[in-house]
């Protein structure tokens, strides 16, 4: 379904979002956000809690009206062609939303009816997806008896019922235990390698670097940067990092004089750079007396540098 929705114009984006804006009263949750997603790409919206990720993607999957801006999916205008678009997208919302009165299989069957799938085909597809998500053995159980990981897999199966061309996931693995998280990641990697386009939100750095071809880091409703995970790391955190606990004034002066990229957290100084330009060797021999850690730069460094290190509740 929806196959012929693609490539109706050029260049063809799966998602083209321009100047998206979402306000709640006076509050601006999404502030002039523009991005696109290419066919077969996995794009991640990365940001701390309250950044505006959910508000953004709820507009993309047609759940929440835009305050301003324009959105095209498969080249179709969201405002006028939502009915056609919905047949080609699958959505996992941030919260799991199964029907608690129905069994695992019934949940899928009822959902399939929203897509006008014939009953037999729906059941066949549902059973196939339950097997794919390792839930086959629980198909006649009520959903209230499922663990968090199973429930998430059920919601993922539900999102795939209509063979979507675009899968939209809001924090697919938040609150899952490591086994369940990896199980979901493996399925998503498979789907991606089969060519499914994916838009997801996350604040999990492992998830972002493992699954996403490209990332948009956002905060306070705005896009801060976008790019490939490796390129973002190189640009905003270099390649290697040295962390020095309880830095003294001499070290601070040295770092200033050398104009190193760094963050001074008071009790800890973090210096970003490249190990092979001998910066760290010079620091090490002069200043690493107590605690000093050298490690590779990560996406987490980029994230914290751009969104701040203060506690957020
Ligand atoms: N329905 C709403 N009414 C008022 N404020 C909202 C509503 N939904 C979200 N917000 C606010 O918008 C901001 C962005 O929220 P959200 O998009 O859920 O962020 P994220 O998904 O990145 O954590 C937050 O400050 C949140 O409190
Ligand atoms: Mg959210």
More confident position, 138 or 10: 138
Strands 89-92 and 166-170: parallel
CB 204 within 8 A of CB 233: no
Q: Do domains 37-57+88-233 and 239-296 have the same CATH topology?
A: no
- Residue 244 and residue 32: Cα distance in Å, rounded? 39
Domain positions in the chain? 37-57+88-233, 239-296
Least confident of 38-47, 261-270, 279-288: 279-288
Sheet strand arrangement including 68-73: 27-37, 15-24, 68-73, 76-77
Q: Ligand 2 centroid to 58 CA: how many Å?
A: 10
What percentage of the chain has pLDDT greater than the value 70?
Answer: 95
Decide which of 3.30.70, 3.40.50, 2.40.350, 1.10.1060 is the CATH code for 239-296: 3.30.70
Q: How many CB atoms lie within 10 A of CB 70?
A: 14
- Residue 16 and residue 33: Cα distance in Å, rounded? 11
Q: What is the phi/psi pair of residue 240, to 5°?
A: -130, 155
Nearest to 209 by CA among 180, 230, 178: 230
More confident position, 301 or 281: 301
- Binned at pLDDT 50, 70 and 90, residue 10 comes out as very low
Nearest CA to ligand 1 atom 25: 50
Sheet strand arrangement including 240-245: 261-264, 268-273, 240-245, 292-296
* pLDDT digit string, tens, across residues 117-133: 999 999 999 999 999 99
Give, in degrees to the nearest 5, the angle at Cα 310 between 307 and 313.
Answer: 95
Pocket around ligand 1: residues whose beta carbon is below 6 Å from it?
Answer: 24, 27, 29, 47, 49-55
Task: Please report the atom of ligand 1 found closest to the CA of residue 94.
Answer: 21
What pLDDT shows up at residue 197?
98
* pLDDT digit string, tens, across residues 155-179: 999 999 999 999 999 999 998 999 9
Does domain 37-57+88-233 match CATH 3.40.50.300? yes
Three-state secondary structure along 50-102? CCCHHHHHHHHCCCCCCCEEEEEECCEEHHHHHHHHHHHEEEECCCCCCCCCC
- Tell me the C-alpha to C-alpha distance, in Å, between residue 89 and each of 129, 180, 270: 16, 24, 43
């Amino acid at each position: 379904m929806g196959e012929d929705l693609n490539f109706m114009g050029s260049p063809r984006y799966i998602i083209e979002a321009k100047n998206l804006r979402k306000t709640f009263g006076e509050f601006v949750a999404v502030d002039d956000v523009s991005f696109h997603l290419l066919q077969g790409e996995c794009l991640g919206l990365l940001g701390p809690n309250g950044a505006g990720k959910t508000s953004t993607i709820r507009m993309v999957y047609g759940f929440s009206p835009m305050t301003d801006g324009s959105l095209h999916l498969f080249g179709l205008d969201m405002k006028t062609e939502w009915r056609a678009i919905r047949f080609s997208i699958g959505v996992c919302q941030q919260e799991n939303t199964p029907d608690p009165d129905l069994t695992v299989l019934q949940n899928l069957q009822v959902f399939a009816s929203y897509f006008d799938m014939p009953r037999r085909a729906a059941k066949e597809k549902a059973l196939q997806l339950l097997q794919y998500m390792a839930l086959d053995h629980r198909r006649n159980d009520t959903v209230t008896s499922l663990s968090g990981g199973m429930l998430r897999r059920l919601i993922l199966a539900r999102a795939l019922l209509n063979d979507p061309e675009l899968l939209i996931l809001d924090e697919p693995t938040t609150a899952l235990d490591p086994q369940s998280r990896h199980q979901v990641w493996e399925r998503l990697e498979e789907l991606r390698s089969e060519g499914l386009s994916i838009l997801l939100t996350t604040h999990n750095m492992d998830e972002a670097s493992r699954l996403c071809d490209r990332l948009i880091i956002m905060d306070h409703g705005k896009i801060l940067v976008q790019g490939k995970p490796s390129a973002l790391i190189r640009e905003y955190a270099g390649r290697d990092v040295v962390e020095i606990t309880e830095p003294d004034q001499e070290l601070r002066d040295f770092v200033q004089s050398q104009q190193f990229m760094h963050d001074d957290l008071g009790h800890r100084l973090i210096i970003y750079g490249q190990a092979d330009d001998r910066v760290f060797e010079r620091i090490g021999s002069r200043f690493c007396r107590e605690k000093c850690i050298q490690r590779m730069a990560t996406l987490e460094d980029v994230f914290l540098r751009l969104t701040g290190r203060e506690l957020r509740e």
